[in-house]
Amino acid sequence: MRKTSFIVADAGLTEVNVTRWHQGELSADQDRIAEETPIALIYNGISHVVMLATPQDLEDFALGFSLSEGILQDKSEFYGIEIIRQEQGIELHLEVATECFVKLKERRRNLAGRTGCGLCGAESLEQALPLPRKPALQASIHAVPGASFQAAFHAIKPLQALQLATGATHACAWVTADGEAQLVREDVGRHNAMDKLIGALAKLPPQNNGFVLTSSRASYEMVQKTAAAGYSILAAISAPTGLAVRMAEAYGVTLVGFLRDNQYVIYTHPQRIKN
């Protein structure tokens, strides 16, 4: 029996020897698979969380996670990062503002010792599904043409390098109002891809007139992260959940689902989209 062997091609994927069956015939071949690695986020020397994510664009991931989870309120509170690769995974050592670190320690203290079957350690509905940390987003000054969603649907596919290579990753993209996919980030987890995009966008001048596109379904955390980053439109190639729709309504986010060739569905705040 041939032993399976692995060759790390780059940070995001691995080449593996496989046996392929096709039309009744077996043959030796190689395949490329997306990586999924334990990544520890450590703030000012204190470990906070371990995530499973594709190990590329790690600084974007660390910054975006910190912003979307409310650990940081602004990029200026992020002072630096050291990436330490180990056999078991990767440690991201972040230096953040003291005020943010104090609040994070208090949050950790409040979570300690809970015994309920919790969502992210929450022991009550209010903690699991909090009200928006910020006021509901106001209507954008400029409405996005509906044709831009169709343009983005076609534009994002060739930009998903990991997905094209492995067939296993999600993508999130920042799309301009005219449908140009300006920035794309990928990961095996849709929420990780969103955090990577948020982190990458935080390094650029403010982006207002456009929308976030995700190749996945629109779950509630995708809406939360979109709103936390201050973006007013989230478009998903797949379906939204009921909770995502209710949250989008409460947060003031325009939620678009089932974005396919020649179709999409607007679930909330349709005033931001024009024919």
What residue type is 22 in one-letter code?
H
List all residues 6 or more positions away from 160 whose beta carbon is below 8 Å from its beta carbon.
169, 171, 184, 186, 215
Report the 3 state secondary structure along 165-190: HHCCCEEEEEEECCCCEEEEEEECCH
Is 117 assigned a catalytic role? Answer: yes
Q: Within 13 A of 97's CA, how many CA atoms are on the CB side?
A: 14
What residue type is 167 in one-letter code?
G
Radius of gyration, CA atoms only, the chain = 20
- Residue with token string 């409405």: 143
DSSP line for 212-224: EEESS-B-HHHHH
Of 100, 117, 120, 172, which one is the catalytic site residue? 117
Give the residue numbers annotated as catalytic, written as ranges.
Answer: 117
